[in-house]
Structure 1
Amino acid sequence: MTVGLILGVYVVFSNPIGMDDDQLKNGCSMIIDPFGDIIAKCPRLDEGIAVATLVPEKLEQAGGTRYITARKPELYRKILGQEHKSSQNVVWMEQDLDN
Structure 2
Amino acid sequence: MTPEQKLAALFAADAPPARDYAFQARIAERIAARRAWMTVMALVPWAIAAAAVLWGLSPIVAPLAESLEATIEPSALVLAVASAAAIAALWLSRRFSAA
Looking at secondary structure, tell me which structure has more strand per residue: 1
Looking at secondary structure, tell me which structure has more helix per residue: 2
Q: Relative contact order: is structure 1 or structure 2 higher (C-alpha 8 Å, sep ≥ 6)?
A: 1
TM over 0.5: no
- Range into which the TM-score falls when normalised by the shorter chain: under 0.3
Question: What TM-score comes out, normalization by structure 1 length?
Answer: 0.27
